[in-house]
Chain A
Amino acid sequence: MTDALVEARGVTRVLPGPVPVTLVRDIDLEIRAGEFIAVSGPSGSGKSSLLYLLGLLDEPSRGEIRLEGRPTAGLSRRERARLRLTRFGFVFQFHFLLPEFSVLDNVLIPMRKLGRRSDREMHRRGEEIVAELGLGDCLRKTPDRLSGGERQRAAIARALANDPLLVLADEPTGNLDTANARLVFGIFARLAAGGGRAVVTVTHDLGLAATASRRVNLIDGRLVPP
Chain B
Amino acid sequence: MMLVLDIAFGHLRKRKRQTVVSVLGVALGVGFFIAIAAMMQGFQQYFVKKIIDVSPHIVMKDEYRSAPQQPVERLYGDGAVSLAGVKPRNEPRGIKDGQATTAELARLPGVAAAPSLQGQIFLRYGSRDVSATLIGIEPERERRVTNIEGDLIAGRLDDLYTVANGIILGEGLADKVGARRGDTLSVVSPAGVALKMKVVGVLRSGITTVDNFIAYALLKKAQVLQDRPNVVNQIRLHLADVETAQDLARRIEARFGYRTEAWQETNQNVLGIFVIQNGIMYSTTGAILVVAAFGIFNIISTVVLEKTRDIAILKSIGLEERDIQAVFLLEGLLIGVLGAMLGWGAGFGLTELLGTVRFEIEGFVKSQGFYLSYSPTHYLIAAGVAVAAATFAAYLPARKAARLDPIAILRGAA
- Which residues of A are in contact with B by a Cβ distance under 8 Å? 48, 52, 55, 57-58, 77-78, 81-86, 88, 90, 92-94, 96, 98-101, 105, 109-110, 112-114, 158, 170-171
Q: Which of the residues A84, A100, A158 comes within 8 Å of B13, measured between beta carbons?
A: A100
CA gap between A99 and B317 in the complex, in Å: 16
CA gap between A96 and B14 in the complex, in Å: 16
Residues of B within 8 A of A48 (CB): 410-411, 414
CA gap between A94 and B312 in the complex, in Å: 12
Residues of B within 8 A of A113 (CB): 3, 317-319, 323
Residue of A nearest to B1 (CB): A112
CB <8 Å contact, A52 and B410:
yes
In the complex, what's the smallest C-beta–C-beta distance from A202 to chain B, in angstroms? 10
CB <8 Å contact, B310 and A98:
yes
Q: Which of the residues B14, B316, B321, B323 comes within 8 Å of A77, measured between beta carbons?
A: B321
CA gap between A52 and B411 in the complex, in Å: 10
Residues of B within 8 A of A81 (CB): 315, 318-320
CB <8 Å contact, B318 and A110:
yes
Q: Which of A52, A96, A114 has the most CB of B within 10 A?
A: A96
Residues of A within 8 A of B7 (CB): 98, 100
The 5 closest A-B CB pairs, nearest first, are A85-B318, A100-B10, A96-B313, A84-B318, A112-B3
CB <8 Å contact, A94 and B413:
yes
CB <8 Å contact, A57 and B316:
yes
Residues of B within 8 A of A114 (CB): 318
In the complex, what's the smallest C-beta–C-beta distance from B330 to chain A, in angstroms? 14
CB <8 Å contact, A99 and B14:
yes
In the complex, what's the smallest C-beta–C-beta distance from B14 to chain A, in angstroms? 5
Residue of A nearest to B322 (CB): A78
Mask for B300-317, Cβ within 8 A of A = 1, else 0? 000000000110111111
Residues of B within 8 A of A86 (CB): 318
Between A and B, 14 residue pairs with Cβ closer than 8 Å are A57-B406, A82-B318, A83-B318, A84-B318, A90-B317, A92-B410, A92-B414, A94-B413, A100-B10, A101-B10, A110-B317, A110-B318, A112-B3, A170-B414
Q: Which of B310, B317, B320, B323 has the most CB of A within 10 A?
A: B317
**CB-CB under 8 A for A96 and B310, given A48-B411, A57-B406, A170-B414:** yes
Residues of B within 8 A of A94 (CB): 309, 413
**CB-CB under 8 A for A98 and B317, given A52-B410, A109-B3, A113-B323:** no
Residues of A within 8 A of B414 (CB): 48, 92-93, 170-171
CA gap between A96 and B410 in the complex, in Å: 10
Q: How many residues of B contact A (CB 8 A)?
A: 26
CB <8 Å contact, A84 and B3:
no
Decide if B153 is an interface residue (CB 8 Å cutoff): no
In the complex, what's the smallest C-beta–C-beta distance from B254 to chain A, in angstroms? 67
Residues of A within 8 A of B411 (CB): 48
CA gap between A90 and B407 in the complex, in Å: 13
Residues of B within 8 A of A92 (CB): 313, 410, 413-414
Decide if B11 is an interface residue (CB 8 Å cutoff): yes
Residues of A within 8 A of B407 (CB): 52, 57-58
Residues of B within 8 A of A78 (CB): 320
Residues of A within 8 A of B323 (CB): 113
CA gap between A81 and B414 in the complex, in Å: 22
Residue of B nearest to A89 (CB): B317
Residue of A nearest to B3 (CB): A112
Residue of B nearest to A105 (CB): B6
> Knowing that A92-B313, A100-B10, A109-B317 are A-B contacts, what are 16 other residue pairs whose CB atoms are under 8 Å apart, sorted by A's residue number?
A55-B316, A57-B406, A57-B407, A77-B320, A81-B315, A81-B319, A90-B317, A96-B312, A98-B7, A100-B11, A101-B6, A101-B10, A105-B6, A113-B3, A113-B317, A113-B318
Q: Which of B7, B316, B319, B414 has the most CB of A within 10 A?
A: B316
CA gap between A73 and B263 in the complex, in Å: 74
CB <8 Å contact, B313 and A100:
no
Mask for B159-189, Cβ within 8 A of A = 1, else 0? 0000000000000000000000000000000
**CB-CB under 8 A for A109 and B314, given A98-B7, A98-B10, A100-B13:** yes
In the complex, what's the smallest C-beta–C-beta distance from A16 to chain B, in angstroms? 13
Q: Which of the residues A58, A77, A84, A171 comes within 8 Å of B317, measured between beta carbons?
A: A84
CA gap between A93 and B313 in the complex, in Å: 12
CA gap between A21 and B3 in the complex, in Å: 38
CA gap between A92 and B6 in the complex, in Å: 23
CA gap between A171 and B413 in the complex, in Å: 12
CA gap between A100 and B14 in the complex, in Å: 7
Residues of A within 8 A of B320 (CB): 77-78, 81
Q: Which of B7, B14, B323, B414 has the most CB of A within 10 A?
A: B414
CA gap between A153 and B331 in the complex, in Å: 30
List residues of B (97-149) whose CB comes within 8 Å of A's CBs. Answer: none
CA gap between A84 and B313 in the complex, in Å: 11
CA gap between A93 and B309 in the complex, in Å: 12
In the complex, what's the smallest C-beta–C-beta distance from B19 to chain A, in angstroms? 12
CA gap between A58 and B315 in the complex, in Å: 12
Residues of A within 8 A of B321 (CB): 77
Q: Which of B3, B318, B323, B407 has the most CB of A within 10 A?
A: B318
**CB-CB under 8 A for A84 and B10, given A57-B407, A92-B410, A170-B414:** no
List residues of B (393-414) whose CB comes within 8 Å of A's CBs. Answer: 406-407, 410-411, 413-414
Q: Which of A83, A101, A109 has the most CB of B within 10 A?
A: A109
Residues of A within 8 A of B11 (CB): 100
List residues of B (268-324) whose CB comes within 8 Å of A's CBs. Answer: 309-310, 312-321, 323
CA gap between A96 and B309 in the complex, in Å: 7
Residues of A within 8 A of B13 (CB): 100
In the complex, what's the smallest C-beta–C-beta distance from A215 to chain B, in angstroms? 21
